[in-house]
A and B are shown apart, each in its own frame.
Chain A
Amino acid sequence: MSEPLVELRDVAKWFPITAGLMQLTVGHVQAVDGVSLKVHRGETLGLVGESGCGKSTLGRMVARLLTPTRGQITYAGKATHALRGRALAGFRRKAQIIFQDPYSSLNPRMTAGSIIGEGLYIHRTVPRGEVRQRVRELLERVGLDRSDESRYAHEFSGGQRQRIGIARALAVEPEFIVCDEPVSALDVSIQAQIVELLRDLQGELGLSYLFIAHDLAVVRHISDRIAVMYLGRLCEEAPRDVICDAPVHPYTQALLSAVPEPDPAIPLSPTPLPGDVPSPIDPPPGCRFAPRCPRAEAICRTEQPAWREVSPGHFVACHAVDP
């Protein structure tokens, strides 16, 4: 396989918790704890997990909006956190992010045109005189009207705002986009429009995506490979059909069986996974899924399972899975 575009090696992010007058560090939120992943050129890696599992923190680290506590993230072979000056500006242009909430991620005092055009001015990818023309092309490309450039964010619906967010990311001709739950806040009929728009753009422009979402069906639809996260760590990673049709990690299996299918012939999952996701402040020792796992044994509660390849391209971290 070709050289990966983005590679994460044992990446962790611990947020300190401070307390008292002296703001002493009394503990850490282990939002991400030892994740290794690769995204290849032209592919979509789906990252799924429940709320609080650290998937958005991971996405923000990849986009270099957060600094990892440990580990390294490389983009096209170069460590992103060592980038400075011109090299950093180049990375900022090539790697973009689309945020979840189309209501809070657009500046309410800027028009759609200036939101989309801002990156063009900063990165000077087109001459100043052509910025307006390019903004109009982008608006049309994402399914808006060129006259929308002078409207403000509040004048648009949620789906239209997400289109502006996409146009903003596309403006500087990126290679790689972190899509952080881009459709979760939208109605189902609008979700499909945005998902298909992202797929069309990928085909046209050869983009690579890190697609973060909690909806497994959406992730299956758009991804080439899927990684499943639980409480800051990866459970399983494989090509999408393997994850969805033949998962081996007990958490992936539970997550899949919990998704209600729009088909009355498929009954409700008879034994839903018990309990709740534990707090990442004081995560359970050993395997983090052990307290809720139907197959947990003594070793799972003491020893962290290794991340290993059970078949080509299929990685899993579980003691109970046979090699």
Chain B
Amino acid sequence: MALLNIEGLTIDFRGLDGVVRALYGVELAVEDGEIVGLVGESGCGKSQTCLAIPRLIHASGTVHADRIEFENEDLQAYSERKMRRLRGNKISMVFQEPMTSLNPCLTIGEQLSEPLVLHRGLSWGQARDEVAQMLGRVGIPDPAQRCREFPHQLSGGMRQRAMIAMALVCEPRLLIADEPTTALDVTVQAQILSLMVRLRDETGAAILLVTHNLGVIAQTCDRVSVMYAGRIVESGTTERIFARPEHPYTRGLMHSVPRLRPPSGAGNRLEAIPGSVPSIAAMPPGCPFHPRCKFADSICAEQLPEYCELGGGHRALCHFAGRLEEGQAGQ
């Protein structure tokens, strides 16, 4: 049984122009000790999917789900009180902006101690020792001194480490990391990624890693789900998805990213995906990707495809999954 199991997650937001749907029946499962990647472009719903797990969706949103289960318990049935006991404890989050997600008025030590005091019932003094130890584990030099400092005294990379340390103090079973390295430079990104992989190996925690960077996915994740316009369009093991992507959007993404070490035989031009992501208020009929898809046929504009099982847990939301080449040859 999976540690986290989400089925049919749909979120509607009430806005000035009526109700818009941000997520359409998202399915996601995370096993113990696994790193699962969630990849997609801005506005595809990756962050909303993450926020729905610990029930942090904005008040204007309505969540419907067939199932949101964590450790075999139905999170939708949890009272707010029970939910608070879970957040920052067994499920914790790391946000994208290390600048804005730490409280500027509290020292690093104070805000990192809080989860230990609230969830573990430690005294502030005991918590401080444990926080200093955790800061050392995430690679912050001179942790006792850093505990007394405020967020603005730390660099971006240090703040993100502090965020990760805060998420890990209560030894979560599931760490949700929403673009944890996007605001960071590549050398610092490499430090944070290897830190997360190491902590997974040491503590056995599962990680749901949200990113738009295919390189980050390829190098850290066991499995990956690709999102487009509020839907998971393809999912499978990382090896499989990178070796044989079966959804045209996944293929398009892979071909539009320049490679630092281009594989032999790679073309000189990047194959950009034409057009842009549809607005959630104006979704095209049929498959949401069909206006940008080079494999699209008449059926794609009329009918939403169903998931096509491709074996080994690999599935794609496309009428032509598994036979993209023949589809194109027929045109």
Interface positions of A (Cβ within 8 A of B): 50-51, 157, 159-160, 187-193, 195-196, 199, 214, 216-218, 220-221, 244-245, 254-264, 266-270, 272-274, 276-277
Contact = CB atoms under 8 A, between A and B. Distances in A.
A275 to B, nearest CB: 9
A193 B276 CA distance: 10
B5 to A, nearest CB: 25
B2 interface: no
Given A193-B274, A255-B187, A262-B217, 10 more contacts: A157-B276, A160-B276, A189-B272, A199-B269, A217-B257, A245-B261, A260-B215, A262-B254, A272-B190, A276-B155
B256 A262 contact: no
A272 B139 CA distance: 12
Contacts of B42: 187
Given A159-B276, A187-B277, A276-B158, A195 B258 contact: yes
A260 B219 CA distance: 7
A193 B258 CA distance: 12
Contacts of B269: 196, 199
Interface in B207-266: 212-220, 238-239, 242, 252-254, 256-261, 263
Interface string B140-173: 0000000000000001011000000000000000
A273 B187 CA distance: 6
B238 A217 contact: no
Interface string B82-96: 000000000000000
B191 interface: yes
B186 A261 contact: no
Contacts of B220: 260, 268
B270 interface: yes
Interface of B: 41-42, 155, 157-158, 185-191, 193-194, 197, 212-220, 238-239, 242, 252-254, 256-261, 263, 269-274, 276-277
Contact of B219 (A192, A216, A268, A277): A268
B260 to A, nearest CB: 4
Contacts of A245: 261
B259 A262 contact: yes
The 3 closest A-B pairs by CB, nearest first: A260-B215, A192-B272, A192-B256
Given A192-B271, A192-B272, A218-B258, A50 B216 contact: no
Given A272-B190, A276-B157, A276-B188, A267 B258 contact: no
Contacts of A264: 218-219, 238-239, 242
